[in-house]
Amino acid sequence: MTTLKILKYHLKDLLNSKWVIFYGFFFLVITEALFDLGGNPVKTVLSMMSIVLMIVPLFSIIVGVMYLYNSREFVELMLSQPIKRSQLFWGMYGGLSISLATGFLFGMTLPFLWHGVVDLQGWDYWLVLLSIGLTLTLIFVAISFWIALIFEDRLKGLAGVIVLWLLFGVIYDGLVLFLIYYFSDYSMEKPVIILSMLNPVDLARIIMLLKFNVSTLMGYTGASLQAFFGNVTGMLVSASAMFAWWLLPLFGGFRRFVKKDF
Amino acid sequence: MIRLEQLGKSFGTLRVLKDIDLEIKSGCVTAIVGPNGSGKSTTIKSILGLVKPDHGTVIVNNRRVNGDCEYRRQIGYMAQIAHFLENLKVRNVFELVKDVRNSESVTLDEELIGRFNLEREYDKKLKNLSGGTRQKVNASLAFLFNPAILILDEPTASLDPVASRILKEKIHNEKAKGKTILLTSHIMSEVEELSDEIVFLLEGNVFYQGTKQDLMASSENDGLEHVIARMMEGAAA
């Protein structure tokens, strides 16, 4: 109950935050522009996918880490009240995740609704993209909390999350390609499947592309996964790995929060 | 009453509290003084559970604090800095703390809200308030629930002289009601004016604990500031 009370005030704070409002309108403008350019919901979902895979992790991880650093005195105020640390942690995590999810859903949903996606072919693609965006929000807010609780110095924390985002979103594919090239004499299917499990952004992309069944865009990791598991099992395996990617940093952050000196 | 027994805390290799024993008496104002980094804030935060001691015991009103949070219902805390959720209005902050305290059964003490004229600020967002006004909100929150124990970390540091006087009067009045008040300050005139007991911390040790009268009697009646300054110089020598 106390957790819900804390969550309510975090929502009140964050839904008035210019960053969350900007985030919502960013997705609204981009989605609407893609509709106006292409018109076809399936094409729009495919184009939005790349943006969602880059922007949702970036925004969630940076806003998350800054929010936690800026809430330091608020945490002190709350922890001097008769409430448990766990209640405060879940209230803060829930408040930030729900706020960012609200901004994302606002920007992604309205154009699809007024362009009539529900009546058109492609609403199932759109739903998968929404689920992917929401899952990435939960994962990257959890990672940002964990990192902010590891590094006392906010500059180190901010640098840490940017490096992590670059690694997951940009550098990782290059590293995988390099490994495949370097070990080109060996069968790389299984190692590459394992590598794909170690990157939540890669997993999200694979789930989307398995749904679209566009093997040309899947990259080596996606194609290996499809070949190994097939489409449906591949999606289930990837979704389970993403679930693990949510739980691990969330409980890592929780453990640090419960033990931390404020 | 608050009692600390063999309380130790290190941050990395730095020993901030070196197994200190301390008793904060009920019904009087105890001031913790000492140079920067002497362990004042860590002591206060250990009592509140914000800092987890490496070892030792904190006892508040005869109950050992061991991870339980209910004892904090008896405590009002005013932190040094008041940066809360920036997009909340002042009224939201009061509502939030009342909500999490389940304060329906408590007679609220809204005297400071009135004397600081905070009703006028109720609909302003916290990010639009000056540092002094935030600190008035902070002080009002600490006293709001009529707690038996008040812990005030540099309470008047960013208040204007009028607000500072109001807060000091409030501290006097609460002491007269028998409340236990623990404060830290670098302003020695304030410590002299408000406190009954003085704890002087130095490099994580309790260097002196006793009544203000005893401390002053040991000097040549040249004010608390000089006495404390001499103690610091003596310890450094």
- Which sign does the torsion angle of CA A155, B154, B64, A84 carry? negative
What is the model's pLDDT at position A157?
Answer: 95
Q: B52, A256 in Cβ contact below 8 A?
A: no
Scanning B114-173 for CB atoms below 8 A from A yields 125, 138, 141, 151
CA-wise closest residue to A52 among A22, A20, A30, A35: A30
pLDDT in tens, B143-171: 999 999 999 999 998 899 999 999 999 99
Q: For chain A, state the CA radius of gyration.
A: 19
C-beta contacts of A122-125 below 8 A and 24+ residues apart: A122/A40, A122/A41, A122/A42, A122/A45, A123/A41, A124/A211, A125/A41, A125/A42, A125/A45, A125/A46, A125/A211, A125/A212
Distance, in Å, from the CA atom of B163 to the CA atom of B159, rounded to the nearest integer, reads 6
Domain extent for B53: 2-236
How many separate domains does chain B show? 1
Is B100 in Cβ contact with A77 (below 8 Å)?
Answer: no
> Which residues of chain A neighbour B87 with C-beta distances below 8 Å?
12-14, 16-17
What is the model's pLDDT at position A120?
Answer: 62
- This complex has an ipTM of 0.89
Inform me whether the pLDDT recorded for A21 exceeds 90: yes
How many separate domains does chain A show? 1
Distance, in Å, from the CA atom of B15 to the CA atom of A121, rounded to the nearest integer, reads 66
What is the model's pLDDT at position B183?
Answer: 94
**Of A229 and B1, which is predicted with more confidence?**
B1
What is the model's pLDDT at position A118?
Answer: 61
Is A5 in Cβ contact with B79 (below 8 Å)?
Answer: no
**pTM, entire model:** 0.90
The single residue listed with the structure tokens 């305290």 is B101
What is the model's pLDDT at position B233?
Answer: 75
What is the model's pLDDT at position B224?
Answer: 79
> Which residues of chain B neighbour A262 with C-beta distances below 8 Å?
45, 50-51
CA-wise closest residue to A59 among A9, A28, A97, A108: A97
Q: Which residue of A has its CA nearest to B74?
A: A82
pLDDT in tens, A140-154: 999 999 999 999 999
- At A252, which amino acid appears? G
The average pLDDT across B114-132 equals 93
Q: Phi and psi dihedrals of B208, rounded to 5?
A: -150, 140
Length of chain A (residues): 262
Is A262 in Cβ contact with B51 (below 8 Å)?
Answer: yes
What is the model's pLDDT at position A217?
Answer: 61
Take residue B126 and report the two structure tokens written for it: 């916290």
Take residue B22 and report the two structure tokens written for it: 């301390």
Min mean pLDDT across A57-71, A184-198, B8-22, B76-90 is at A184-198
> Which of the four pLDDT bands, split at 50, 70 and 90, describes residue A95?
very high
What is the model's pLDDT at position A112?
Answer: 83
Inform me whether the pLDDT recorded for A226 exceeds 80: no
> Which residues of chain A neighbour B158 with C-beta distances below 8 Å?
none
Q: B34, B201 in Cβ contact below 8 A?
A: yes
> Which of the four pLDDT bands, split at 50, 70 and 90, describes residue B227?
confident
CA of A67 vs chain B CAs: smallest distance (Å): 9
Take residue B66 and report the two structure tokens written for it: 């061991």
What is the SS3 assignment for chain B?
A: CEEEEEEEEEECCEEEEEEEEEEECCCCEEEEECCCCCCHHHHHHHHHCCCCCCEEEEEECCEECCCCCHHHHHEEEECCCCCCCCCCEHHHHHHHHHHHHCHHHCCCCCHHHHHCCHHHHCCCEHHHCCHHHHHHHHHHHHHHCCCCEEEEECCCCCCCHHHHHHHHHHHHHHHHCCCEEEEECCCHHHHHHHCCEEEEEECCEEEEEEEHHHHHHCCCCCCHHHHHHHHHHHHHC
Min mean pLDDT across A192-196, A210-214, A256-260, B166-170 is at A210-214
Distance, in Å, from the CA atom of B183 to the CA atom of B94, rounded to the nearest integer, reads 23
The average pLDDT across A71-85 equals 93
CB atoms within 10 A of CB B222: 10
Domain extent for A179: 2-259
Q: For chain B, state the CA radius of gyration.
A: 18
**SS3 label, residue A257:** helix
Distance, in Å, from the CA atom of A61 to the CA atom of A59, rounded to the nearest integer, reads 6
Burial label, A224 (beta-carbon count in 10 A; 0-12, 13-18, 19+):
buried
Distance of CA B34 to the CA centre of its chain: 14
Q: B140, B118 in Cβ contact below 8 A?
A: yes
Please name the member of B11, B70, B99 whose beta carbon is closest to the beta carbon of A5.
Answer: B99
CATH of residue B59: 3.40.50.300
For chain A, the average pLDDT equals 88
Is B100 in Cβ contact with A70 (below 8 Å)?
Answer: no
